[in-house]
Amino acid sequence: MIVTVTPNPALDVTYAVDRVALGRSHRVREVREVAGGKGLNVAGVLTAMGREVMALGLVGAGGEAIAEDLAARGIRHSLGRVDGTVRRTVTVVSSGDGEATAFNEPGPRWTAQAADTLRALVTRTLGAVRPAVLVISGSVPPGMPVDGLSALVAIGRAHGCVVIVDAAREALAGVLGVGPDLVKPNHHELAEVVGTTDPVTGAARLRERGANQVVVSCGPRGLVLVDDGLAVRASLPDALRGNATGAGDAAVAALAAGLAEGRSGVQLLADAVAWSAASVLEPTAGIVDPAVVERLRATVVLTAEPATG
C-alpha cells in the first residue's frame, strides 16, 4: 500500500475556445473538470498500474468535484476540508492550433487549523492502512507553516514508511533536514535550491543537506538517481512528443511502487523513465497505459557511474 498526500489539490479546468485574442471576450465551447495536484496524479498513475494506493489532501468549498472525479476513476481517497474555495487551474485551449494557456490559482490560505487537520488525517490513515511508502507531493498552499512538510515526513517515519517528497523552492529546502528517503526535484527546481543544474553535483548537495536518495528529472533527457556511491542515468533513445504535464508525477509513482516492492538503483530508475514517458503519451496528467509502460520499459537506456558525496 502507498499513501499520497497533496497539501494543495486543484480542480483542473480546461476551456475549449475557438481562438484566443488578448483583450477580447471569448465564448467557452466546452468545460472539462478533472482532479489535479501532483499527489493526486501520482495516485492516478499507481491506480492505473494496478497498485493499492490511497490519496489524501485538503480541499476548499467545491472540492466535491475533485472527489467525484477520483471516484469515477477508481482512485481511493480521503479529502479533508479547508476554509475558502477549492483551488482551480484554468487552461484555455484554442481549437485552431491547440495552444494551451494556463492560469493557476494559489489556493485557499491555510490557517493553523488546516495544518492540524491534515496532520490528523495523515496520522489516522497511516495508522489504519500501514503503507510501505508515503508520498508527499505538490505545491504548498499559502499560509502553510514553514515546518508543514517536515511534520508530515516525521509522521511517516514514525509509522515506519519510506517517505518520498516532491516539492520545490523553500518547501524542498525546508524538508531536507528531517532526512526524507527520496526527493525528486526537476533540474530547474534543483538549480533554485542548490545553484547548479548538473544533476549529479546538485543531488550530492541535497544529500549533504539531509536527503537520502535523490532523483532529478531532466525533461526529455531522462532521470538521474544518486545514492550512496552510485549515479545512474536513464532515458529513452528518442524524445517523445506529447503532454509533459504529469510526467514527473508518473516518475514519482514508479519510484513509490519500486521502493514499496524492494527495487533499487538501475531497476528503480528504468521503471521511472518508462512510467514517465508513458504519461507523456496521454492527453491528461495522472494516467498511463500499462501496455505502453511495458513497451517503453524495454527501450530504456541506462548508464551507471560512481558518484561522490
User: In this complex, which beta carbon is closest to its own copies, that of residue 29 or of residue 124?
Assistant: 29
Query: From CA 297, how far away is CA 291, in angstroms rounded?
Result: 10
Least Å distance between CB 19 and its own copies?
10
User: In this complex, which beta carbon is closest to its own copies, that of residue 103 or of residue 127?
Assistant: 103
Least Å distance between CB 67 and its own copies?
12
The torsion angle over the Cα atoms of residues 1, 167, 275 and 245, rounded to 10 degrees, is 130
User: In this complex, which beta carbon is closest to its own copies, that of residue 104 or of residue 196?
Assistant: 104
User: In this complex, which beta carbon is closest to its own copies, that of residue 86 or of residue 133?
Assistant: 86
Establish whether 249 is a catalytic residue: yes
Least Å distance between CB 11 and its own copies?
10
User: In this complex, which beta carbon is closest to its own copies, that of residue 65 or of residue 173?
Assistant: 65
The strand pair at 182-183 and 213-217 is best described as parallel
- Nearest CA among 224, 198, 242, 246 for reference residue 301: 224
Contact between 158 and 122 (Cβ < 8 Å): no
Amino acid (one-letter) located at 277: A
User: In this complex, which beta carbon is closest to its own copies, that of residue 28 or of residue 146?
Assistant: 28
- Nearest CA among 86, 90, 60, 64 for reference residue 77: 64
Other Cβ atoms within 10 Å of 173 Cβ, number: 15
Enter the C-alpha cell of residue 130: 500501514
Least Å distance between CB 61 and its own copies?
7
User: In this complex, which beta carbon is closest to its own copies, that of residue 93 or of residue 269?
Assistant: 93
Active-site hit among 69, 166, 249, 271: 249
Residues that bind its own copies in the complex, under the rule CB under 8 A? 15, 17, 20-29, 31, 33, 61-62, 64-65, 85, 90, 92, 99-106
Residues contacting 117, CB < 8 A, separation 6+: 58, 80, 81, 82
Q: Compute the half-sphere exposure of residue 291: CA atoms within 13 Å on the CB side of its CA.
A: 0
Least Å distance between CB 186 and its own copies?
14
Least Å distance between CB 93 and its own copies?
10
Question: Given the C-alpha cell 495522472, which residue does it identify?
Answer: 286
Least Å distance between CB 25 and its own copies?
4
Residue 266's Cβ-count burial label (10 Å; 0-12, 13-18, 19+) is middle
* Residues making up the chain, counted from first to last: 309
Residue 24's Cβ-count burial label (10 Å; 0-12, 13-18, 19+) is exposed
Q: Compute the half-sphere exposure of residue 130: CA atoms within 13 Å on the CB side of its CA.
A: 0
Where in the sequence numbering do the catalytic residues fall? 249
